[in-house]
Structure 1
């Protein structure tokens, strides 16, 4: 028999955009839209060899900075919404 107990786990309460300084609390709308990059540079990286780089960006700054380079492979919203033109009446 196993007796389970719950331990509090750490979580992000507040996130700040490293570009514009905007912030969102954990329960606020838009909190989930922040993009957090956590990257370990490889040992063949010219200037940042072995560095650990982190950046947190709000969606607006992320889209402004990287939007022109996006490659959208799949849109899950349109995949679950019915297409009215394909519905039989």
Structure 2
């Protein structure tokens, strides 16, 4: 039988500079967490786990020269990061036959999808 434990997450610390990033801070919202399994012939070693947490300042210092930073398009509301918050896309949607909200895509009785 599994036992569920509750853990309170207090935030994290940048692995490069040691900056503390409490959960309720803007620094935490902007941090980058890397956590993946390295693949075959990776420079990190086959199948090794690669992890790191970095503050936005270290990401800018280390990668800023190569990052592409763009402004959010005018038609997308600021802070709309979830699919249900963004305006509907025009054209074919893979999930359109499952969407029921008006303005996204809805299925007619003959299983065709209409778009606004």
TM-score, length-scaled by structure 2: 0.52
Gaps of 5+ in 1: 1-6, 82-89
- Aligned-pair Cα RMSD in Å: 2.6
Mean alpha-carbon deviation: is it higher for 14-23 or for 43-52? 43-52
CA distance in 2, matches of 1:77, 1:13: 34
CA distance in 1, matches of 2:13, 2:51: 12
Partner residue, 1:57: 54
Q: Whose Rg is larger?
A: 2
Q: Does 1:22 align with 2:25?
A: no
Deviation at 1:75, TM superposition (A): 2.4
Partner residue, 2:9: 12
User: Stretches of 4+ moved more than 6 A in 1?
Assistant: none
TM-score, length-scaled by structure 1: 0.66
Number of aligned residue pairs = 74
